[in-house]
Each structure stands twice: as C-alpha cells, then as structure tokens.
Structure 1
Amino acid sequence: METAIKYFYMLLKTLKGRHYLLLFLVPVLFLFLWIKAFISPVSLTPGQDQMPLYELLQQLTGGSIIALNIVGAAILILLSLLAVRLNERYVFIRQRTDLPAFVFALIATGTVSLYGMHPALLASFLLFFAIDCVFAVYHGSRTLAKSFEAGMFIGLATVTYLFSGIYLLWFWVALAFLGYFRPREILAGFVGFLLPVFVVLSWYFLNDNLTGLLQTISSLYNFEFSAEYSMFQKVYWGILAAFVLIASAFMANVVEEKKISSRKYFMILFVFFLTAIGNYFIFSSAGTELYFLLLIPTTFIVSHYFVLSRYSWVKEILFILFVVASILVHFLG
C-alpha cells in the first residue's frame, strides 16, 4: 500500500508540472478507456432524428458508428488539450499544469453508457469556445466581438443538441459576473445566437422541410428518457459528486487569496456546471448525455483542488481513490 501511494504521489507530482509526455499519455489513456467504442460500437441515438448540425455530421461519416466514434474520441482528446491551454491563457488555476488533461480523460470516459459519439459531446466542444470567448470579454478589448462569438457558439451548440439553448441564459449571467451586463453586449450575444439558428431555419424553409425540422424538435423535446445503471456506476457518480463538493469547499476557503479575475472565472464555470444540472431537472427528455456538458467545469474544479491543496496526505489518498474508481468503473460499471 505504501509503495502504491508513493507511485501515485510521483504521478500526481509529474502531472502537476509541464511535460511533453502529455501529448502521448492522454491520447493513449483515452483509447484504452474508450476501447469498447471501437470494438463493439453502439449508437447512442438509435432511431432518433437529431438536430441539423449533428445530422450533417452523420451524413459526412456515412452513418458509420465507428466513424462517428472516431470523431468523438478526437473531440475528447482535443478538449483535454484545450483545457490545459485555457488555463495557460487565463491562469485561473494559479499554476501552469498539465493535470486538467489527465483529470478530463478520466472523467470524460467515466460513464460506460456513453462509449461513443453523441450530439451533446459535439455541443460540449462548441460550448468550450463559448467559455473561452466569455473569459476574453473580461479583458475589455473587443467585448462586442467576443460577446457575438460566444452567442454564435451557443447557437451552433443548440442546432447540434437542442438543450444547449439554455446556455444563452448562462452567458447573460456570466456577463453580470464580469461587469459587462450592458445592452450592447447582451444584444451582440443574442444576435450571435440567432445567426446559426436563422441560417438553419432558412435552409429548411427554402428546401420546403421546415415542418420536418419542427417535428424533430418536438420529438426531441417530448422524448421520455429512461435508463438503468449498475450500482458501481452510481457509486462512481457519487464519488465524483463528492470530489466536486470537496473541491468547491476548498475553493470557497481560498477564494480571498485569488485574483479578482480568477474568482470570476471560477464562478462562471460553476454556473456552467449548475446549468447542466438544471437541464436535467427542467427537461424530462434530457438524460445521461448531459454528463458531456459537465466535463469542462468539473475538470477545472477538481484539478484546482489537486494542484493547490496543501493537505498532501489527504490529497494523495483522494487522488488514488479518484484514479482507481475512474478505471474500475470500466470493468464493474
């Protein structure tokens, strides 16, 4: 046991730094933990019509589940690297670290019913860029352009995964946290949101298929989600929720030590997290796929704790629990 703790301590210490090993380790970890998506691929949207942007992706991949899953794996790997880049750009975790990529990989693959591509995964990728744009607004330069871009990415996410539209409200809340809740930024974001929606509606109207689109939206909205999960999968979600609570409590305890910008960024990420949770309770047809929307905020909340917590032995034990549970869920979940 002592030897295992020693190795995990070395792993945590290594991942907290900056290493080119990341470029090799994270993709390999993803492919190892997500291998079932390629060995025995299963559609996560069987027999369901989907929003236009995802339908376009299905057409481009020829409807091949394996091809879609390859795209999904590429998105997850890219998101893990972009998570590191986002912290490097805004430094809200007060250290340049590769740990978010590793944490993201473990969390992203931690729900065994989501081995594969889903519209919510593509929407999560688009919403990541909305987060980036919102953070950029705080710098005060090109606030209108960045507000427009944030709204546009939310609009693109909405025509990919219907329940992403609620993130327009998150955007307005984020503007309030940043001190830019002004008519011009609000309007710029709203116009950006409407642009992809308008283009899609116009395309379907010109092709005399607007009724078909409205029927798809209605069927997605009225779909009754139901699923059963193993006990260990539920235990893993419970462990992950406990980590979020512990990390959030730690963050609240050290918030006064942070720069004002870091506080605002973390509050925006936390509201992003709550928006996904709210989606689950507001819309009965929104289900496990919302897990994909939780990935970015959960990754940063958990990574912040592992990087900055001063209680070394507690942190090491929790890190062991996190890694072991994230791997075991693939065998027991």
Structure 2
Amino acid sequence: MLLKTLKGRHYLLLFLVPVFLLLLWIEAFISPVSLTGEQNQMPLYSMLQSLTQGSIIALNIVGGILLILLSLLVVRLNEKYIFIRQRTDLPAFIFALIATGTVSLYGMHPALLASFLLFFAIDSIFAIYHGSRTLAKSFEVGLFIGLASISYLFSAVFILWFWIGLAFLGYFRAREILAGLVGFLLPIFITASWFYLNDDLGVFLQSINALIDFEFKAEYSLFQKVYWGILAAFVLLASAFMANVVEEKKISSRKYFMILFVFFITTIGSFFVFSGTGTELYFLLLIPVTFIISHYFVLSRYSWIGEVLFAIFVGASILIHFVG
C-alpha cells in the first residue's frame, strides 16, 4: 500500500521529503569530509568555497539546500510539462532516496552545483518544443551549460546533448544552434577574460589541465555496489516499461523522455571518456534517473508485484546508509 499512497498528491509530502532527505544525509553535517580535497576547482565553485570561507559544513549546508530545491523542482517540472501523465509528488520522494544513495557523496561537490544548473537547462530545452521564443530558450540552455561548466568542468559535454535535443525537437537549425553556442561560451569567455585581466590566465588553464588529467581512484563496499546494481536494474526495468508504452504517449512526452534518456547516456559516456570523472557523476544522473523510475512506479498497473518492487527500492535506499 506504500506505493499506492505515495503516488497521489500529498502536499504534506513536499514538506516531509526535505526533512527525510536531510535525515538520510545527516552524515554530511555530523562528520563533514571534503569531497574535492586540496585540488583547485573551476571558478564558480571556487567562488562558492570563498563565500563559505572554506568551511566544509557551510558548503554541505549549501549542498543540502540544493538537494531540497531539486527534490521540489522535479515535481514542478512534471506539473509544467506533464510528461508523466499524472500529477504526483512521488518524484520528490524517489529523488530523495536516490540522491542520498551513495555514501561516498555525503557532502557538497562541484557536480552537485552543476546538476542544479543543468536542471534549468532541461527546463529550457523542454520549453523549446512549444515553438515560442526558441532563440531565447536556446540561449538559456547554452548559458546554463556554460555556468555548469565553470562549476564542474566535464559539464561542457552537455552542449552535445543540447544539439541532439534540438534534433529530437525538430529545431536543429543554425540559429538555435548558434544561440545555444553563444550562451554556452558567454560565461566561459567572461571567466577567461577576468583571469586574463588579472594575469592569472595561466593558473586557470593549469587548473583545467589538472582536472582533465586527474585519475579518479576509489574503492567501494560490496553493499554500495549491490545498491548501484539494484538501481541499475530498476532503470532497465523502467526503461523497458517506457519502451513498451511509448506509442501510447503524446508526441511531446516521447520527446521529453528521449531528451532525458540522452542526458542519462551522455553522463554515463562521460565516465568512460574522461579519466578525471568518477562517482560524482552520480549527482548528474539524479534528474533523469528520478523521472525514469518515477514514470514506472506511477504509471505501471497497480499490483502486489509493484508494491514489492517499490518496497525493495525503498528498503535498499535506506539500508545502504547503515551498511554502505
């Protein structure tokens, strides 16, 4: 009955989800650990570090706020575009479970800030489908990708996702491509110019090279790997379900889900292409994975099997905090 209850509209849930999320993420505040170490980061994240005076707890508070905002924004995005054909608050709950499901990511990271910025890129590219202000929205998509890139370097690859998204939407035209490219380059140009005027361009380029050449090495517990396996199994199950019902969907919904799926593939591909990437890409997967899994649990025909699967998902997502 848990799934049947949660996939309705419960405004109280929108209050409880942030509390639930922070409880699952409590380790980030009790025993804060820097997820970036001493390595120089991209300028926008470095600015955030300066504003918080290098306090790990302060950074983690910002991270917690971003996660709370994202948990609420995923519900708003579906209400705005209705690509899951039901008004539901379940995505917020699922987001909270997934967002806290990697115990090595208890804390703020540039990829989390990038994920927050890329959410607005997703919102803007969805708006292009409606055909009004396509140039302005294309510029916005590029701008948010550019801002994400000066927060987390490897976010720059999402400019490719934007171009593929334009093709899916039927707007792969020179003017939309150019508008997005201008938006993407603008924050990068301003940042590089600032470093140049302060005779620090070499330092900026060295930081970029260090991030590119960084070889990510980490070890994870068996329980953490099992949880990722469970999460991957649910993504596969939900993707198969979506493929089975895709012909029943409105054209707009199909296109939105394809854009989210390409976002997912772009993130996974980055892990294999760039040696400097690692577990932090999990933060970038939060939005597409939340919607893919939410779509399955909301729209699959109600049965005891669905309740059992949802219980397994919830149980594994909570248990990882104790055994991961």
TM-score category, normalised to shorter length? over 0.9
Correspondence list, 1:114-193, <5 A: 114-193=105-184
Unaligned segments of structure 2, at least 5 residues: none
The aligned residue for residue 219 of structure 1 is: 210
Give 1:314's aligned amino acid: I
Q: 2:35 aligns with which of 24, 44, 49?
A: 44
The aligned residue for residue 280 of structure 2 is: 289
Q: 1:307 aligns with which of 298, 304, 312?
A: 298
CA distance in 1, matches of 2:40, 2:193: 19
Correspondence list, 1:312-331, <5 A: 312-331=303-322
Q: Secondary structure at the match of 1:225?
A: coil
Between stretches 24-33 and 73-82, larger displacement belongs to 24-33
The aligned residue for residue 10 of structure 2 is: 19
Relative to the length of structure 2, the TM-score reads 0.99
Unaligned segments of structure 1, at least 5 residues: 1-8
- Number of aligned residues: 324
Q: 1:276 aligns with which of 254, 267, 280?
A: 267
Point out 4+ residue stretches in structure 1 off by more than 4 angstroms: none
CA distance in 1, matches of 2:21, 2:78: 21
CA distance in 2, matches of 1:279, 1:22: 34
Percent identity reads 78
The aligned residue for residue 4 of structure 1 is: none
The aligned residue for residue 257 of structure 2 is: 266
Q: 1:236 aligns with which of 207, 227, 242?
A: 227
The aligned residue for residue 199 of structure 1 is: 190
CA distance in 2, matches of 1:163, 1:22: 34
Residue 114 of structure 1: CA displacement? 0.1
Q: Please state if 1:103 is matched with 2:94.
A: yes
Deviations 1:273-314 (A, max 9, x none): 000000000001100000000000000000000000015111
CA distance in 1, matches of 2:235, 2:301: 17
Relative to the length of structure 1, the TM-score reads 0.97
The aligned residue for residue 32 of structure 1 is: 23
Residue 14 of structure 1: CA displacement? 2.5
Give 1:300's aligned amino acid: F
Deviations 1:131-190 (A, max 9, x none): 000000000000000000000000000000000000000000000000000000000000
Q: Secondary structure at the match of 1:287?
A: coil
The aligned residue for residue 6 of structure 1 is: none
Residue 70 of structure 1: CA displacement? 0.3
